[in-house]
Amino acid sequence: MLVKQLSIFMENRAGRLAEIARLLGDAGVNIRALSLADTSDFGILRLIVNDVKRAMRILRDSGRTVSLTDVVAVEVPDHPGGLAGVLERLRDANVNVEYMYAFVEKATDNAVVIFRFEDIENALKVLQRAGISVLSAETVSSL
């Protein structure tokens, strides 16, 4: 049920993001979702891609600092209050979210939210008990 996310260390300099996007684009890697956490000096680029291994190799070869992080992709009804419902369940079960970001599925009426949890196992149990749909890595990469 876990999805592999690529995390890339980036200096906060003009054009860094474009370089990485071009690198992946030229290698035929498709970016499914992304989020950028930044401070005044550096940023952490988080990517969900269709081909993790290939993307990892390309980025490493270009000298970037890259790591893989386990994240959870949750399907959330794409209507007002949809996300709130999921988050309330997590809150009630005392599940801590390190960070999260979302994108909208093309094919269905759902949104997909990527979660990084402090305690992934526990979070998965809570989501399952609440009947919230957790997407597999295959599903996410084929979205």
Partner 1 sequence: MIFNPQAECMDRAGLRRLQGERLSDAARRAYENVPFYRKKFDEHGVKPQDIRRIEDVGKLPFTTKEDFRDTYPFGLFAVPLRDIVRVQASSGTTGKPTVVGYTKEDIEIWSEAIARTLGCGGGAAEDVLQVAYGYGLFTGGLGLHYGGEKLGATVIPMSGGNTKKQIMLMQDFGTTLLACTPSYSLQIAEEAAADGVDLRKLKTGYFGAEPWSETMRGQIEHRLPLKAIDIYGLSEVIGPGVSSECLEQDGLHVFEDHFFPEIIDPNTGEPVGPGQKGELVFTCLTKRSTPLIRYRTRDVSSLNEAPCPCRRTSRRMARITGRTDDMLIIRGVNVFPSQIEHVLMDIEHVEPHYVIVVDKTGALDELEIKVEVSEHLFSDEVRKLEALRQRIAGEMRSVLGVSTRITLVEPKTIERGLGKAKRVIDRRELK
Contact between 64 and partner 1 by CB under 8 A: the answer reads yes
- ∠ CA(12), CA(14), CA(15), 5° rounding? 110
**Selected binder of partner 1 within 5, 55, 73, 135 (CB under 8 A):** 5
Verify binding: residue 23, partner 1, rule CB under 8 A: no
Contact status: 42 vs partner 1 (CB under 8 A): yes
Does position 67 interact with partner 1 (CB under 8 A)? The reply is: yes
119 touches partner 1 (CB under 8 A): no
User: Does residue number 37 form part of the binding site for partner 1 (CB under 8 A)?
Assistant: yes
Nearer to partner 1 (CB atom), residue 9 or residue 109: 9
Burial class (CB in 10 A: 0-12, 13-18, 19+), 120: middle
Determine which residue in the list 92, 98, 109, 119 makes contact with partner 1, applying CB under 8 A: 98
Burial group, residue 5, by CB count within 10 angstroms (0-12, 13-18, 19+): buried
Among 3, 20, 34, 46, interactor with partner 1 by CB under 8 A: 46
Closer residue to partner 1 in complex, CB, 38/109:
38
CB 32 within 8 A of CB 49: yes
Q: How many residues bind partner 1 (CB under 8 A)?
A: 21
Query: How far apart, in whole angstroms, are the C-alpha atoms of residue 103 and residue 33?
Result: 7
Query: What is the token pair recorded at 70?
Result: 């386990």
Which residues would be at the binding site for partner 1 (CB under 8 A)? Answer: 5, 7, 9-11, 37-39, 41-42, 44, 46, 63-67, 69, 98-99, 116
